[in-house]
Structure 1
Amino acid sequence: MNLTRGENSMKKKWLSRVMAVALFAALLSFGCAQKAPEGGQAAKPAAAEAKAQSKNVYTGSVVGKSNKAKTISIEVGKGADAKTMMVRFDDKTKGLEFAETGEAAIINWEQRGDDKFATTIKPKLATLPEGVTEIGVEELNKLISQNAPLTLADARPKARYDQAHLPGAISIPVPALEEKKEAILPKDKDKLLIFYCGGYT
């Protein structure tokens, strides 16, 4: 089957877009994503997720942190079932750097008198869609060393990107991508688009 130059160009552009979306979904192996649950289980509804909160664990989005009062507020559940919970922290709390406003976190806590104290805080990582594979660090290094035409996109919040990022990377935070979709992606569809996130680089 012979394709005309125009048909071949259209096919390349379509393939580039599909690859960009697939690579975004993978969000690499830099700690941004976890494997989907075995057996293709669907995500829990908000009410079930809120009820599934372990007695001494809060999982949700950090909505506030006060270093002066030494408290963290975290929203657990979604929609009408959402509740804001507050825990205290002290010098024994591990992972305090993951308690940043707007970040998803898992807070383990213990009761001390009338107060709940955070013992450990971990980032809550995204789940990869079914059928999406990841690119490893070695493969990324190989692409970079071969001067492959690619664009590195940092999917972390802009404030984290501003603190540190891979050389040459551009900032495309996940919420901005969800809101603006393809409009925020680089115009050059012939370059490989590789997203990464999670942790300082």
Structure 2
Amino acid sequence: MSKRLFIFCLITVFAVVTAVTGTAGLSHAGKPTVAPMCKQCHQAQDKVIRGNFVSITESFKTMQVAVGSLVWVVKYGDDLKLTGAAKLAAIPKDKEVALTYTGEEKTPYAVSLSVKPPAKIPAEKLMKLDDMKKLVDMGPEKGRYLLFDSRPAPKYNEGHIPTAISFPQPAFDKVKDKVLPKEKDKLLIFYCGGVTCRMSPDAARRTEALGYTNTKIFLDGMPAWKKSGNLVVSATAGLKDFIEKDIAHVLVDLRNAKAAKKGFIKGAVSMPAKDLAAAKDKFPADKSAPIILYSDKEDAAAYTTVSSWGYKNTSVLSGGIAVWKKAGGKLAKGKLTTTISYVPKPRPGEISIEEFKALASISAPDKIILDVRDNDQAMNGMLKGAINIPAGEIKDRLKELPKDKEIITHCNTGVMAESAYDDLKEAGYKVRFLNAIIQIDKDGKHEITKK
């Protein structure tokens, strides 16, 4: 090879290596430290990396953080200061992080890692209870709004705020084109299961990303609405589920006995509205019993009477018996019973609190505890040995779950756990769910209470 050709080849190789390392991040010199998405709010700082968490390698005590297409590999030790997550292993892939390190670029050592917290909801985005009540009383047309229930459809069916439309956050992409209006400036209000529920804030955020400019969140949601004694209505689909799945409930026909005999919903108890106030002692001792009231119309006064007795799962059948018939609901004829018989029983697929506690204290080889909360919630504490797949991602991540083990799902309240149960059951998995309120701290310690 001639001297000239050798020099040409050397220059070419150098140029290629320089180009590759400059774009793919193989060079340690001058590495980018701020991901493109982070540059909107942050500037480069000495020995601070802002990017997306990739993973950890516990055996080598290293973590990987992506800054665009480049991946930093950073050593860490037991002295790492971690904020925003209970442990490194709980940080989901692609979560935004800020890492401070010491040493040189070639051998960085992590001093601290901060996980980006959930976005706070600006005060102007929040809908207050009194304002929500005023709008519902006005109705969507006069109030010029659309109200969306972000909970899974079964929960909407069992009881929702009047005028609300079911828009389940887990099925956002599938439902959005069916329910969102053409007017981008229309007032859109989202709610779900209260201040700890992340479904309505997430749905509102995703709606804004589609170009809608007037979204609000009724963050207090169903718990506050019910606690204030406001009317709750249930859908015919919810009552059909109760009947078909043999879920314990109390169904009350508020019409006069003569009208009820001509056609009533199977399983109903006759209790005319005019006699309801004096019938308190006929109702179950269990205040968590689902009570469904129906008549020819939505009887708000009857709802107020029963809910004031402490029955927290009371609802009025939306649209009354006319909507039931229109939806294909069957009617029975004859004399109705006047005695309420309520025997509480677990919902299909429900695991008892006692059994769940026992499973959470051990690592059963034939079972998996699946935490279906959002990543941000799971990062603040998970049960020992549990794995986290958000409920909305279950159908897309079935390959991660073995079919030779029983899966036990849980969330904060049982709402998303039951939704995940339905998806897994449909996919052929052996599965149950926890229908209770569970609080978990950063060390995995937990407290479970009946709903």
- Scaled by the length of structure 2, what TM-score is found? 0.22
More strand per residue: 1
More relative contact order, 1 or 2 (CA 8 Å, 6+ apart): 1
- Scaled by the length of structure 1, what TM-score is found? 0.44
User: Which is higher, the Rg of structure 1 or of structure 2?
Assistant: 2
